[in-house]
Structure 1
Amino acid sequence: MYLKYLIFLVCLVSSNAASFQNSQLDANNRVVGGSVAAEGSIPYMVALRTGIFIRFLICGGSVITTRHVLTAAHCIDSVYRRGSLSIFLRVAVGTNRWNIGGRSFSVARNITHENWNSFTVKNDIGILVTGDIMPLTDRIQPVSLNFDYIIGDIASRVAGWGRIVVGGPLSNRLLVLFVTTVDGDECSKALNYNISVAEQFAKYDPELELCAFSTRGKGVCNGDSGSALVRKNNNEQIGIVSWGYACARGVPDVYVRLSAYKGWIENALSGPS
């Protein structure tokens, strides 16, 4: 896990098979403070999973073209060993349950930001290229990307299958949480007040990252990384779940700011399939 003093990334590979099995048995699991998403209401939602007989949830992601999934670089890192992706990695789309239903696709290759830094948690962005085209249906649709510089007080939402508490089970159903973006200065103050060692590693950078918050007791947690932060008014993606302070402890969560990576994303999408 990306555990560094009091900060840890809010979605990493879960620790053992038992926790995954337990998460599938509890129908009441929730993203911290979230609610069950209506079937088909988030058609861009992706579950990154691995495993053969027992499936493991890695992270979330978003469909941005019929061959490309946008996610966090640290999610890709977790299934990348000795110069290649795990052969068991799959992209699941078109379902509100990460472990069943929908369509599953293999991954041909990854495009991870060349300046991704796992220690400072900066440039935490990557793209997975599927082996086959993902056919578009009413349950599978790309999300539109918004490259505007996002300020505070923008009503937004995030969805995922992440843990309901630190070390707790995952959700077997897709959960959605409505949040509001937080001004850069306000977020910096909140993070630095609660995380005295922030200056040593994952210091919040308002040019590369944006913050969002709901209320204490609500927020993203392990399993939600890579998922899309979208504007509520137009359903356009503005961020990617990256890191935070514990889970729902009354501190804003930190997202990759898409506006900072407009050129990188466009260049990645224009490359070979």
Structure 2
Amino acid sequence: MNISVIKILSLFTIIDGYIINQSLPIKKNIRVARIANGEQFDQAYYPYVVGLKIQIVDEETYCTGTLVSPRFVLTAAHCIEGSSFVEVYQTDPRNEDGEKREVIELFMHSLYNDTSFVGDLCLLKISKPFKNITSYANISGNPELFANETSLKCFIFGWGKNETGYPKYRANFASVWVKYGPNACEVPPDNYFIKDIVESTWKDFLCPVPNNRMACIGDSGGALMCQGFLFGITSHGYNYYPEMGHLKTECGDTRVQTRYIFIVIYRDWINNHLHGTSSTLKFNHLMFILISIVRFLLSI
């Protein structure tokens, strides 16, 4: 699969735990600090947590994904956007000796918006199942579980760093308390751009209570597991402290509010693709390839 899509943004944008000043153009394919202060987990209990190696032009980058069936991996659309080649690793994607599978088809959600991160989901179809994986993540989640501002103890997973600047190439996880609702996410009182986006898109996202345990580099697209089920996918974050919206944040900074796609909202879309019942499945993929080829040729 040869796909190349580069997006340059000039707006004041939320991107993977960083806030970028609106005067600075950025490449949307940057994957930046995502689990700080996490612990290693036994992969035997979570075999469906997989690593992604992604080729974007001449850059190699990493994300995390979740096997939801023998042939399909669920991850974040922003991880895959602009990719020309994607491989799925059973373990650390930086380990070339690990068992891996090539992605032969990808399906980005049609509502994906690279500013608000609504629809930040992508399904990857791999060439064949992993031989020794027989357990897959089950999708669930009910908004009523979060009624009356109830918080749930959940776990975030990823193959990324466990502290900024010091990569530990081992799987990590951390516990977080998660909320859902119009007031679940902290918002910067002095940044109306971010405030408006967060308040208008709250139905699509789960928000952990800010603390020093959060996703880091390579954890984007990873699982948020609650009550043993897949509730969310790591999407993005932003600095919510006053007068700090224009500054870069670091992984593990308690001033960062992270957000996770609440995937039960997209359950029908996921099921339709898993079972091949989406009438737009092949059409969307073909159009994505054609658009990518045109953009690649124009960039030469």
Q: 1:109 to 1:50 in 2, by over 3 A?
A: same
Corresponding position: 1:176 with 2:170: no
- Name the CA distance, whole Å, in 2 between partners of 1:130 and 1:260: 24
Match of 1:268 in 2: 273
Q: Give matches, 1:103-252, under 5 Å.
A: 103-137=99-133, 141-149=135-143, 150-151=145-146, 152-165=150-163, 168-188=165-185, 190-193=186-189, 195-199=191-195, 201=197, 205-213=201-209, 216-231=211-226, 233=227, 235-245=228-238, 246=249, 247-250=251-254, 251-252=256-257
Residues 37, 195 of structure 1: alpha-carbon distance in 2 compared, 3 angstrom cutoff = farther
- Following TM superposition, where does structure 1 have runs of at least 4 consecutive aligned residues deviating by more than 3 angstroms? 1-7, 10-15, 54-57, 163-166, 192-197, 199-204
1:253 and 2:247 are equivalent in the alignment: no
- The whole-number CA distance in structure 1 between the counterparts of 2:167 and 2:100 is 20
TM-score by length of 2: 0.70
Aligned-partner residue type, residue 155 of structure 2 = R
Opposite residue 156 of structure 1, the aligned amino acid is C
Cα deviations by residue, 1:115-134 (Å, 9 ceiling, x for unpaired): 11112211101100011223
Q: 1:177 to 1:4 in 2, by over 3 A?
A: farther
Which amino acid is 2:170 matched to? Answer: R
Unpaired runs of 5+ residues, structure 1, are: 16-29, 80-85
Measured on the aligned residues, the alpha-carbon RMSD in Å equals: 3.0
- The TM-score normalised by the length of structure 1 is 0.76
- Unaligned ranges ≥5, structure 2: 1-7, 19-28, 239-248, 283-300
Alpha-carbon spacing, 1:147–1:185, altered in 2? closer, same or farther (3 Å): closer
Q: Which residue of 2 aligns with 1:83?
A: none
DSSP-derived class of the 1:186 partner? coil
Give the total of aligned pairs: 241
* Contact 1:182 1:252 survives alignment (8 Å): no
Could you tell me whether the CA contact under 8 Å between 1:7 and 1:195 is conserved in 2? Answer: no
The 3 A distance-change label for structure 1 pair 103 and 223 is same
63-72 vs 5-14, which deviates more? 5-14
Aligned to 2:244: none
SS of 1:144's partner is coil
Q: Give the letter for the 2:14 counterpart.
A: I
Equivalences for 1:35-114 in 2 at 5 Å?
Answer: 35-50=39-54, 56-79=60-83, 86-87=84-85, 89-93=86-90, 95=91, 97-100=92-95, 102-114=98-110
